[in-house]
Chains A and B, each alone.
Chain A
Amino acid sequence: MVTIIPDIIKESLTNLIKNGERSDNRKFDEYREISLETGVIDKAEGSARVKIGKTQIMVGAKPQIGEPFSDTPNVGVLMTNSELIPMAAPDFEPGPPDERSVELARVTDRCMREAGVVDLEKLVIKEGEKVWMIFLDLHIIDYDGNLMDAAVLGSMAALMDTKIPEARMEGDELVIDREKMIPLPIKEKALMCTFVKINGELIVDPSLEEEQIMSARISIGMRSDSSICAMQKGGMHPLTKDEIIKAVSRTTEITKTLMEHLPQK
């Protein structure tokens, strides 16, 4: 299904940006209201419900025993999967994940993995044979723009909420003790900040309308120590080097305030 944006909306949004304004009265560096709850699904070992404006994502983390990849026998596995379920928007279709969904999952995955959010070495039960695999599932429930930042925020919160059973080898036997649940070893925090370019300006946390008329998009994943852990450029039009450098420096400031939404631990 093709979404058609009326020229009049495009014009009015562009004119607002020209005057330094946005349709919901936000500043260029201002997020919509963010709400974040953890522990919302009892059956998931970790979970979070995140809302940025009207965008809503449920994230669940589930651990499973598995074999490590043969090239990395001494680390556990973190897998991220996303579903843009047809509930979330009229143009989302049922079926296998489309390219938008795969991009969202992969960018989220890179942001978490490259930042070293989870101490994967501590997820090894028996080197080369048995490790914890953490499945992170993103369930997009309501799509009103800026899925990337919501997905990373929700994933971070869900991982911080996750508790895995104590597991050990007794001889050849694997013992999983569900009576003893231990918090997932978290060693870093990372979040993502997305800008879209409209009429030459970069604005943060695009709403649905802003996303539909943007010329380009850039998402920057940043750790709490302000180092960059992931980046993704999107959209049909180019960005200049200056714009990218500026986006990074603005992300440094914005990430600090975004971090305040995470559970304090």
Chain B
Amino acid sequence: MITIIINKNLNKGSQSNERDDGRAFDELRPFKIEAGVLERADGSAYLEIGGNKVMVAVYGPRELHVRRLMQPNRAVLRCRYNMAPFSVDDRKRPGPDRRSVEISKITSEALMPAVFLEKFPRSTIDVFIEILEAEGGTRCAGITAASVALADAGIPMRDLVVSCAAGKANGEVILDLSEAEDKDGEADVPVAIMPRTGEITLLQSDGHLTSEEFEKSLNLAIEGCKKLSEAQKEAIIKRYGD
């Protein structure tokens, strides 16, 4: 029932210069995606990338009890991004903080364009993203895993949203920042796309970049997304066959 996908492009990137962890500037960390890992949830996925471990559960479409959120013509898609207390170096106090509330909001907005919400009026689709271990880039990992979990739940979608960050550290524009690169680096640009059309559903930027560097980061992040997209599809194929 569980499938494991391992990044095959691990050996070398296209540039000779290396980063602290030995990666090329345009290289992702090793990753794997599994679909259908939980019993109770309608859909679920597990993703590891570098030191990140992320579990996602999807429930729905189901009845929405909070009437004021109800939409008469479509479903609502609610996301809850939550970090386990033991996922970071200094224990995180349980419960939502401002950071996770913001990430929950942009995650649901990143996923919504791909979902045929209009097929399920007055109902809700709930996406629960649990960060079991964090090592830089958890919001992107959460979005990438959430799409696989939505597909596993059988929710009709236009595309599998996929997400990856690029940024700048040590004066170089690089793909998929690790925790150390994010902390000491100059900028972080998380991006999510719908790979079939190339449309962007999430974009943030935190740090200082020239417009050339920004454009380079954006292109790099999109290339990273495309590699992850293949692994998403493989995870679903492994679970359900062709």
Q: Report whether B40 and A43 are in contact in the complex, using a CB–CB cutoff of 8 Å.
A: no
Q: A186-217, CB under 8 A of B: which get 1 and which 0?
A: 00000000000000000000000000000000
Q: Report whether A89 and B84 are in contact in the complex, using a CB–CB cutoff of 8 Å.
A: no
Q: Report whether A137 and B51 are in contact in the complex, using a CB–CB cutoff of 8 Å.
A: no
Q: Report whether A58 and B132 are in contact in the complex, using a CB–CB cutoff of 8 Å.
A: yes
Q: Report whether B91 and A135 are in contact in the complex, using a CB–CB cutoff of 8 Å.
A: yes
Give min CB distance, A254 to chain B, whole Å.
24
Q: How many residues of chain A get a CB closer than 8 Å to chain B's CBs?
A: 30
Closest to B87 in A: A43
Determine which of B55, B65, B86 lies in contact with A87 in the assembled complex, contact meaning CB atoms within 8 Å.
B55
Residues of B within 8 A of A (CB): 38-41, 51, 53, 55-57, 59, 62, 65, 80, 82, 84-91, 94-95, 126, 128, 130, 132-135
Give min CB distance, A261 to chain B, whole Å.
20
A141 at the interface (CB under 8 A from B): yes
How many interface contacts (CB-CB < 8 Å) are there between A and B?
A: 86
Residues of A within 8 A of B (CB): 1, 41-44, 47, 54, 56, 58, 60-62, 64, 81, 83, 85-90, 94, 96, 135, 137, 139, 141-144
Q: Knowing A42-B51, A62-B86, say if A142 contacts B39 (CB, 8 Å).
A: yes
- A96 to chain B: which residues have CB within 8 Å? 95
Given A85-B130, A137-B84, A144-B40, 13 new contacts (CB under 8 A): A1-B65, A41-B86, A43-B88, A58-B84, A58-B132, A62-B86, A87-B38, A87-B128, A89-B40, A90-B59, A137-B94, A139-B86, A139-B132
Q: Knowing A86-B126, A89-B40, say if A42 contacts B133 (CB, 8 Å).
A: yes
Cα distance A1–B63 in the bound complex, in angstroms: 11
Give min CB distance, A23 to chain B, whole Å.
15
Cα distance A143–B38 in the bound complex, in angstroms: 9
Give min CB distance, A100 to chain B, whole Å.
15
Determine which of B41, B65, B82, B84 lies in contact with A60 in the assembled complex, contact meaning CB atoms within 8 Å.
B84
Determine which of A1, A60, A143 lies in contact with B40 in the assembled complex, contact meaning CB atoms within 8 Å.
A143
Cα distance A64–B62 in the bound complex, in angstroms: 41
Q: Report whether A85 and B38 are in contact in the complex, using a CB–CB cutoff of 8 Å.
A: no
Cα distance A64–B41 in the bound complex, in angstroms: 34
Q: Report whether B80 and A86 are in contact in the complex, using a CB–CB cutoff of 8 Å.
A: yes
- B56 to chain A: which residues have CB within 8 Å? 87
Give min CB distance, B86 to chain A, whole Å.
2
Q: Knowing A43-B89, A89-B40, say if A139 contacts B133 (CB, 8 Å).
A: no
Give min CB distance, A223 to chain B, whole Å.
26
Q: Report whether A43 and B134 are in contact in the complex, using a CB–CB cutoff of 8 Å.
A: yes
Determine which of A1, A56, A139, A142 lies in contact with B84 in the assembled complex, contact meaning CB atoms within 8 Å.
A139
